[in-house]
Amino acid sequence: MSKKKSYMDSNNILSENLLKKLRDKIANRLAIRHIKKDPKVKKEIDDLNKEFEEMWDEINQIAAKTHPNRKPFKPKKVTIDDIIG
């Protein structure tokens, strides 16, 4: 048996805010799951990716005129996880 001392008071678990922390973590996970499945959010992310792609296409065209040997830059697509964190 371990002789490690526990700093959590098992008789007074409510004062340790364990239940509030657990509730908040569950609520955050449910909210994130709902956001990831929302079709409006998916459409907005797709629109954002299209705008980035169009912008970089224009930048690459201008850069190709000044530096013909330059490789075009392709940005990585933005995902919901990038925004939520």
Task: Return per-residue pLDDT of the chain as tens, 85 residues.
Answer: 566 665 666 666 555 677 788 888 888 888 888 888 899 999 999 999 999 999 999 999 999 999 889 898 898 998 988 888 6
Which pLDDT score, from 0 to 100, does residue 18 have?
72
| Nearest by Cα to 83 from 40, 43, 36, 39 | 36
Which pLDDT score, from 0 to 100, does residue 57 have?
94
Which pLDDT score, from 0 to 100, does residue 56 have?
94
CA dihedral 78, 45, 55, 69 (to 10 degrees): 30
pTM: 0.63
